[in-house]
């Protein structure tokens, strides 16, 4: 009798996805710390610019034998698939930077971690996955209940005051939700649209992100400035090399060749891991509402994973 879980060919790609999830768990804490020191747009610009360069170098040394290159397919992949990647990066960086406090950053992170559930949802129209709709709907409802609790009761201000200040205080949360939607679509699109040289696109996506953020800087009358201290330099280099360039490369590999539904199911642990790391690194004391919100988002992702069956 044969026992099949993950095939030998899919195992390395699946392991790559797990490693990407581990690295992403530290992303919010380090990005917020860098943003506080460098400024929202300034930090986002340098993180994405240097990530694009690092990603290109990693790919260059990894792929000495380059497959045939098609400019038409490159352009198609860049705009059809890469546009969602760019939207995610820009929106999420802005959400982290615009959060009014470190407590709000954790709320932003919990909202952003709706993306595991949203990957399952968007796999239905994009990948034609089969769904158990009642289970899927229950999972989505549970995930959004968790984010609602985080927004209403996880903030450092009363609910009445939060609602009064909704246009300004809720903006980072809205950006984080849009980022989660963009990532849910992107992860499915990378699985659907593949071509031999798609690995060449990722550095240009990071560079495109940096150019968009640079444009926003110039419109605000700002100029990029890399005048930072030793600790901030180490944080920047960590963000560039690990949660950015390496993690996204690993995730791309896992979405193309790994067990996508299995990897996405494991990603339900990321909200909890990210919240723990953020609490420790940013010196935040989190109340019961945060941990309840995390558990609800995790439970929602689990239900969603049970509501989708991966195509053979």
What's the rounded Cα separation, in Å, for the pair 5 and 130? Answer: 20
Predicted TM-score (pTM) of the model is 0.86
Concatenating the DSSP letter of every residue in 60-79 gives HHH-SSPPP--HHHHHHHHH
> Can you give the residue range of the structural domain that contains 62?
25-309
Per-residue pLDDT tens digits for 36-80: 999 999 999 999 999 999 988 887 776 655 555 667 777 888 888
Could you tell me if residue 302 is inside a domain? yes
Average pLDDT over residues 251-275: 81
Concatenating the DSSP letter of every residue in 178-246 gives HHHHHHHHHHHHHHHS--TTGGGHHHHHHHHHHHHHHHHHHHTT--------HHHHHHHHHHIIIIIII
Could you tell me if residue 178 is inside a domain? yes
In order of 71, 72, 85, 202, 292, the CA distances from 78 in angstroms are: 10, 10, 9, 9, 39
Could you tell me if residue 13 is inside a domain? no
In order of 105, 210, 242, 302, 311, the CA distances from 130 in angstroms are: 35, 37, 34, 16, 8
Q: How many domains does the chain have?
A: 1
Could you tell me if residue 99 is inside a domain? yes
What's the rounded Cα separation, in Å, for the pair 15 and 251? Answer: 10
> 3-class SS at 309?
strand
Give the residue from 6, 216, 202 showing the smallest Cα distance to 91: 216
Name the CA dihedral angle for 13, 14, 18, 23, rounded to a multiple of 10 degrees: 10
Could you tell me if residue 16 is inside a domain? no
CB pairs under 8 A, 24+ apart, for 231-239? 232/33, 232/34, 232/37, 232/38, 235/30, 235/33, 235/34, 235/37, 236/34, 236/38, 236/43, 236/46, 236/47, 236/50, 238/26, 238/30, 239/27, 239/30, 239/31, 239/34, 239/47, 239/51
| 91 or 259, greater pLDDT | 91
State the pLDDT at residue 26: 92
Report whether pLDDT(100) > 50: yes
State the pLDDT at residue 207: 95
Angle at 298 between CA 294 and CA 304, to 5 degrees: 145
Give the residue from 89, 111, 102, 100 showing the smallest Cα distance to 43: 89
Per-residue pLDDT tens digits for 150-187: 888 876 666 666 666 666 678 899 999 999 999 999 98
């Amino acid at each position: 009798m044969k026992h099949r879980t993950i095939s030998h060919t899919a195992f390395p790609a699946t392991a790559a996805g797990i490693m990407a999830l581990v690295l992403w768990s530290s992303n919010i804490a380090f990005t917020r710390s860098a943003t506080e020191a460098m400024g929202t747009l300034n930090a986002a610009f340098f993180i994405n610019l240097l990530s694009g360069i690092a990603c290109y170098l990693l790919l260059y040394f990894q792929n000495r034998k380059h497959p045939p290159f098609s400019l038409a397919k490159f352009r198609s992949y860049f705009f059809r698939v890469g546009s969602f990647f760019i939207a995610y990066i820009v929106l999420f960086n802005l959400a982290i930077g615009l959060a009014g406090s470190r407590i709000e950053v954790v709320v932003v992170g919990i909202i952003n971690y709706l993306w595991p559930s949203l990957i399952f949802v968007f796999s239905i129209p994009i990948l034609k996955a089969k769904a158990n709709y009642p289970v899927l709907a229950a999972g989505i409802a549970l995930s959004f209940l968790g984010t609602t609790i985080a927004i209403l009761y996880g903030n450092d201000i009363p609910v009445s005051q939060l609602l009064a200040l909704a246009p300004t205080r809720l903006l980072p949360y809205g950006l984080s939700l849009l980022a989660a939607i963009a990532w849910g679509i992107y992860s499915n699109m990378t699985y659907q649209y593949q071509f031999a040289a798609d690995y060449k696109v990722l550095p240009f996506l990071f560079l495109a992100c940096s150019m968009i953020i640079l444009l926003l800087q110039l419109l605000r009358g700002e100029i990029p400035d890399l005048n930072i201290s030793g600790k901030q330099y180490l944080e920047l280099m960590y963000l560039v090399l690990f949660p950015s360039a390496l993690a996204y490369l690993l995730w791309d590999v896992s979405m193309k060749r790994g067990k996508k539904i299995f990897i996405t199911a494991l990603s339900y642990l990321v909200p909890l891991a990210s919240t723990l790391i953020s609490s420790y690194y940013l010196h935040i004391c989190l109340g019961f509402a945060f941990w309840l919100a995390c558990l609800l988002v995790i439970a929602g992702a689990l239900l969603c994973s049970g509501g989708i069956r991966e195509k053979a």
